[in-house]
Structure 1
Amino acid sequence: MTKQRYIFLILILGTLTALGPFSIDMYLPGFPAIATYMHTSVPEVALSLSSFFIGLSAGQLLYGPLLDKYGRKKPLYFGLTFYVIASVGCAFAGSLHALILLRFIQAIGSCAAAVASMAMVRDLFPVKDNAKVFALLMLVVGASPMIAPTVGGYVTAGAGWQWVFIILAVMGALILLAVIFALPDSYQPDKSLSLKPIPIINGFWVVLKEPQFYTYAFTGALAFSGLFAYVAGSPMVFMEVFGVSKENYGWIFAGLSVGFIGSSQVNSLLLKKYRSEQIVKVSLSAQAIIAALFFTGALNNVFGLYGTVAMIFLFLCCIGITNPNTAALTLAPFAKNAGTASSLMGALQLGIGALVSTAVGMFDSKSVLPLAIVVFGSSLLAFVVYFTSIRINRDRFIAADNEVVVVGH
């Protein structure tokens, strides 16, 4: 594969991967405006974010078997078309209940892009390159938290929150055109696969019972859920608690994303010297320690705006290193059923993320503490799950020279 081809594929896959994050980040500055328009509160509007996460999680399970049976592109056509229609519907939603439902439908459409892009990494690149490719995808995805909230803030202030969803619909249409005309179908469809419930459940069970899968999928999902907590809690923390404007909130969100994206690129350098397994142990431990410090400081009310920003920045740096490595190690055992494995990994990640984001909104407290509690709890649980499973399954998988060699699948 030529270097130009390599970069071209990563750009397209990164665009697919970024569609969901753009759909999340771009409307965050509009929470107060949406709340005013619909005569409700910012925490109530945050339920539309939770419904989006739930839709992403459910859609992952839908598209996995479809991607393995029909190839990668046909399910993408369906999902992206669905996304465009739902995005337009969100722009014309007249009530919070309608917005919550339409965001769920929008998520069902967008997650086709996320599942397909993850599976195609496994299709198109050698296993030993997967962690590096996932890190490069994060660089493209990084445009979302750096651009989307800032653009969303100015669009909301200048034209109204509805135009955010119109822009998202246009983005979805452009990505659909790129998929049709520029993306190769990287997988030979397996027509023998059944879409009946029992065979599908059995297919997921084959993936789930693989020790390497459940170790890194649950660890990665729990660790990554701290990002969902931050996304769900940040409008309240920055705009309600600290009184930041919509425009400045976008800039803060963009600045914090530098930690997440920058660390994912540092991970590419680390992979030249260390194995993914070694990196996960250190980054996960650091994440738990930083989350504990954040919780302790928030409990004692010692963090102002700048202290809160600093702690979140360090926390996001840890996630940026942990996530590409857990993703690569989760999918490493699978080739033929990479679509099913990718969808199940995504469903776990987004399902846990939805629960965590909902938990942040359940606290009736106008402070940083709810976010700090949830971030600490999820990070601690990820730490415990990982080191417990590694001890139990110590001999079930091995790795050498950044290439995972799987035993027993």
Structure 2
Amino acid sequence: MPHPASAAPTSRFPAWLLICGSLMAIAPLSIDMYLPSFPTLAGDLGVDIGQVQLTLGAFLVGLALGQAFYGPFSDRFGRKPPLYVGLCLYVLAAMGCALARNVESLMLWRFLQALGGCAGMVMARAVIRDRLEAHESARAFSSLMLVMGVAPILAPIIGGAVLTVSGWRAIFWVLSGAGLLILLLVHLRMEESLDRRHAAPLRLGTVARSYAELLRDREFLGYSLSAGFGSAGMFAYISGSPFVLIELHGIAPSHYGFVFGANALGLITMSQLNARLVRGRSLDQVLGATLLAALAAGMVLAVAALAGMAVLPVLLGGFFVFIGALGCVSPNASALALAHQGHRAGTASALMGTLQFSLGTLGGAAVSVWRDGSALPLGVVMAACGAGAVLMRHYGRSGARARPGAR
């Protein structure tokens, strides 16, 4: 039975929010668990590590493209049917990854795995918007990040352990099992949140018109792209940090997960602080301050690399501040982007996800393609992403002020 948009969760972690957290965790779990295996995977398949990094790019492309489909479908048929389709595809594709014999087939299966897994991301955001208004949504997104934040902390550590014991293929068998477990939770414990009285017709013209209206909405587009540039910086870090930390600075693959987990812990900590900050401040005010922190961290990384001073403490500090700031950026920008899109929450969530992961793909690809044997590409890309996020926040803010009825 659908829940009214004004309903607030009766506890900090109601069952539906925990399930949303597990759905959102699919992407970081699928990405972060196999990061420590990059050098081993490259050696096993007989390719350069840059080609292995492209399998991450294929996953991000799948995340970006797949979300555009699930949104309109969910606005017509509800939030659960797309989850059944997407999670089944995810499980089968993870099995395909485990059985891949060359990097090309691995890229294909990773793409299909992302096409399935991204259904969870779209539906989680849509369910939160179905149930809650803007400030409650921001707090729910912050709580959700605490749940899904366990994935980037544990995934590289688990991945490194599985890699040591059973090899990189076992990592994808573990992911397949995780997908089956989440599918079972969705079936048994998740209630439908779409009010069928407001179901949108699934016609090509209607869908195209909705997407066009969203792209003309400065508030939605600006805040979505602000979060997107933040995601691009994070995926640049995800793509480039194995080389910078493991290859350049000699961190053992089994220890890389602890460094990665420390940054994820910073993100979680900031997301929980965000839930308190937004109680007495506007979402945009908190967003603006944390975006400036991310920009400053990116600039430090870029300048240090240019000056030949990108020593390990500087890198670790810059990564920690940038990723930690995203704990406030993501929930607030998402809540602001969806604030006035309750009548098409699935479509808006899908487009927001497509924009964010398109930028994420570009950020990760830029670091993979621009390789000069130093930390410079990673630092410059993260700084550029920080600047883009700040600019897009101002664009979204101008749209919010121009909206009829805004003060």
- TM superposition score normalised by structure 2: 0.94
Once the two structures are superposed, the pairs formed by residues 193-342 of structure 1 within 5 Å of their partners are 193-342=200-349
Say yes or no: does 1:30 pair with 2:32. no
Once the two structures are superposed, the pairs formed by residues 168-183 of structure 1 within 5 Å of their partners are 168-183=175-190
4+ residue runs over 6 A deviation: none
- Once residues 78 and 9 of structure 2 are traced to their aligned partners in structure 1, the CA distance between those partners, rounded to angstroms, is 24
Measure how far apart 1:406 and its partner are.
6.4
Superposed CA offset, 1:114-158 (max 9, x none): 100000001122333000000011001111111000000110111
Q: How many residues align?
A: 400
What is the identity percentage for the equivalent residue pairs of Structure 1 and Structure 2? Answer: 35
- Once residues 180 and 190 of structure 1 are traced to their aligned partners in structure 2, the CA distance between those partners, rounded to angstroms, is 23
Q: What secondary structure, in the 3-state scheme, does the structure 1 residue paired with 2:84 have? A: helix
Equivalent residue for 1:163, pick from 170, 173, 186 = 170
Q: Which residue identity is paired with 1:85?
A: L
- Once residues 79 and 402 of structure 2 are traced to their aligned partners in structure 1, the CA distance between those partners, rounded to angstroms, is 31
- Once residues 290 and 132 of structure 2 are traced to their aligned partners in structure 1, the CA distance between those partners, rounded to angstroms, is 25
1:300 and 1:198, CA in 2 relative to 1: closer, same or farther beyond 3 A?
A: same
Measure how far apart 1:190 and its partner are.
6.5
For structure 1, the residue ranges without an aligned partner over 5 or more in a row are 399-404
Superposed CA offset, 1:293-342 (max 9, x none): 21101111213222211111011122211111000000000112100000
Measure how far apart 1:226 and its partner are.
0.6
Q: 164-173 or 221-230: which moved more? A: 221-230
- Once residues 92 and 259 of structure 1 are traced to their aligned partners in structure 2, the CA distance between those partners, rounded to angstroms, is 35
Map of 1:378 onto structure 2: 385
Measure how far apart 1:191 and its partner are.
8.9
Contact 1:153-1:250 at 8 Å conserved across structures? yes
- Once residues 199 and 36 of structure 2 are traced to their aligned partners in structure 1, the CA distance between those partners, rounded to angstroms, is 47
- Once residues 251 and 15 of structure 2 are traced to their aligned partners in structure 1, the CA distance between those partners, rounded to angstroms, is 39
Contact 2:223-2:396 at 8 Å conserved across structures? no
Contact 1:332-1:406 at 8 Å conserved across structures? no
Superposed CA offset, 1:255-274 (max 9, x none): 11111111111111111221
Contact 1:70-1:191 at 8 Å conserved across structures? no
- Once residues 213 and 90 of structure 1 are traced to their aligned partners in structure 2, the CA distance between those partners, rounded to angstroms, is 36
Contact 1:239-1:245 at 8 Å conserved across structures? yes
Equivalent residue for 1:366, pick from 361, 373, 383 = 373
Q: Which residue identity is paired with 1:15?
A: S
Superposed CA offset, 1:335-385 (max 9, x none): 121000000000000011001100001113121111001001111122223
Measure how far apart 1:207 and its partner are.
2.1
Map of 1:387 onto structure 2: 394
- Once residues 193 and 324 of structure 1 are traced to their aligned partners in structure 2, the CA distance between those partners, rounded to angstroms, is 26
Say yes or no: does 1:138 pair with 2:145. yes
1:299 and 1:5, CA in 2 relative to 1: closer, same or farther beyond 3 A?
A: closer
Contact 1:69-1:190 at 8 Å conserved across structures? no
Q: What secondary structure, in the 3-state scheme, does the structure 2 residue paired with 1:244 have? A: coil
Say yes or no: does 1:126 pair with 2:133. yes
Contact 1:68-1:190 at 8 Å conserved across structures? no
Say yes or no: does 1:83 pair with 2:90. yes
Superposed CA offset, 1:237-257 (max 9, x none): 111111211110111111111
Q: What secondary structure, in the 3-state scheme, does the structure 1 residue paired with 2:279 have? A: coil
Equivalent residue for 1:55, pick from 59, 62, 65 = 62
**Cα RMSD, aligned residues only:** 1.8
Equivalent residue for 1:17, pick from 16, 24, 39 = 24
Superposed CA offset, 1:151-196 (max 9, x none): 0011011100000000000000010010001000011346974444
1:292 and 1:152, CA in 2 relative to 1: closer, same or farther beyond 3 A?
A: same
- Once residues 214 and 400 of structure 2 are traced to their aligned partners in structure 1, the CA distance between those partners, rounded to angstroms, is 19
Measure how far apart 1:394 and its partner are.
6.1
Contact 1:135-1:267 at 8 Å conserved across structures? yes
- TM superposition score normalised by structure 1: 0.94
For structure 2, the residue ranges without an aligned partner over 5 or more in a row are 1-7
- Once residues 224 and 198 of structure 2 are traced to their aligned partners in structure 1, the CA distance between those partners, rounded to angstroms, is 27
Q: Which residue identity is paired with 2:173?
A: I
Measure how far apart 1:3 and its partner are.
3.2
Measure how far apart 1:386 and its partner are.
2.7
Measure how far apart 1:5 and its partner are.
8.5
Q: Which residue identity is paired with 1:363?
A: W
